[in-house]
């Protein structure tokens, strides 16, 4: 496990602060994890997550961000046997196994993650595959340093073939949490390219913008820099670094059909995790070398300094010309209105 150390300040880094004090004077140590899921093995993935979290905490991390779909896995290269108008028996079985690797929210795995955050006294942002009945969601979970589950964000729009295996989130799960280490929110992978979603997060005051992803291309860095500048916020992007051997062997799991590279050491996701300041300065990363903990100290005062120039939802907005309405209520296909059942709906 390679470690990219955070820059060390002369003064102390505080785990908790009095929110009545000037929080903009706070420096926060943040770490993004670049590591691979243990595919189809959620218990082992959770054990790996705890080892990584313990290592990050030993270097003083107060906020730790894991990649998209770290728990449950990102099924890179798989088509689940889908063609227009047809699905194969092998693809259906592949979905069954993937569904079995997902987690319920709330559920025992969420309790385990909360306990880990409390044990190591860190704010934790974790990418998971959430199981809600028989529909899966690409989700980010948030935990505080006292071991409490705060809530979740479901990916609003899965990308391309992801839509076959994941449902779409709605406006009820676009949270920004006001914590002692800053206001934390998240957008997942290509939904970071949705301007209206970003605007909603800026309006909620996001200061530490987490971007778990599966995109290892160099062009991804341009998007991350733009968001940091646009939002006047810190951007923390975490991606998996995966080799062929991190997935089950063929024929159980195939990448891109017959084009599968069977070399166990071939890289199938190269990482590129990065931390960027509100001025667009790269503080740590991008890393394309292997599994790593990538850390930086975030001077929250940089947020006010950057927004002096440009506040996209403040002095640089023109609400009389341009405005956005966010429908932030749960979108349920079935709602029961009787007194005994009015609290029940689907999805849960």
Q: What residues act catalytically? A: 68
DSSP 245: G
Distance from CA of residue 222 to its chain's centroid?
A: 18
Q: What is the dihedral of CA 52, 53, 59, 61, to 10 degrees?
A: 140
Q: Could you write out the DSSP letters of every residue in 273-287?
A: EEEE-TTS-EEEEEE
Q: Give CA separation, 92 vs 115, 132, 164, 294, in Å.
A: 34, 18, 11, 37
What is the Cα gyration radius of the chain?
20
Would you say 46 and 30 are in contact if contact means Cβ atoms under 8 Å apart?
Answer: no
Q: Give CA separation, 337 vs 9, 11, 40, in Å.
A: 57, 57, 40
Strand partners, 201: none
């Amino acid at each position: 496990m390679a470690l990219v150390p955070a820059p060390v300040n002369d003064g102390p880094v505080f785990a908790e602060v009095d929110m009545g004090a000037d929080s903009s004077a706070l420096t926060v140590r943040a770490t993004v994890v670049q590591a691979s899921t243990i595919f189809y093995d959620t218990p082992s993935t959770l054990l790996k997550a705890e080892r990584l979290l313990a290592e990050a905490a030993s270097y003083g991390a107060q906020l730790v961000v894991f990649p998209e779909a770290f728990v449950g896995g990102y099924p890179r290269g798989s088509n689940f046997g889908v063609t227009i108008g047809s699905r194969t028996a092998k693809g259906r079985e592949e979905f069954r196994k993937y569904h079995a690797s997902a987690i319920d929210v709330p559920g025992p795995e969420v309790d385990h993650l909360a306990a880990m955050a409390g044990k190591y006294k860190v704010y934790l942002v974790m990418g998971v595959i959430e199981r809600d009945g028989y529909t899966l969601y690409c989700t980010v979970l948030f935990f505080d340093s006292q071991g409490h589950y705060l809530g979740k964000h479901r990916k609003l729009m899965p990308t391309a073939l992801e839509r076959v295996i994941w449902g779409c989130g709605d406006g009820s799960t676009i949270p920004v949490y006001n914590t002692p280490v800053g206001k934390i929110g998240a957008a997942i992978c290509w939904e970071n390219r949705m301007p209206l979603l970003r605007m909603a997060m800026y309006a909620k005051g996001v200061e530490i913008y987490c971007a778990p992803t599966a995109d290892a291309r160099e062009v991804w860095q341009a998007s991350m820099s733009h968001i940091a500048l646009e939002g006047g916020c810190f951007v923390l992007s975490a991606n998996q670094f995966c080799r062929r051997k991190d997935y089950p062997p063929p024929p159980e799991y195939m990448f891109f059909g017959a084009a599968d590279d069977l070399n166990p050491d071939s890289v199938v996701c190269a990482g590129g995790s990065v931390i960027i300041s509100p001025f667009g300065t790269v503080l740590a990363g991008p890393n394309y070398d292997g599994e790593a903990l990538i850390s930086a100290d975030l001077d929250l005062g940089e947020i006010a300094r950057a927004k002096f120039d440009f506040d996209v939802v403040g002095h640089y907005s023109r609400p009389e010309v341009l405005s956005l309405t966010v429908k932030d209520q749960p979108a349920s296909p079935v709602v029961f209105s009787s007194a005994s059942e009015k609290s029940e709906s689907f999805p849960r």
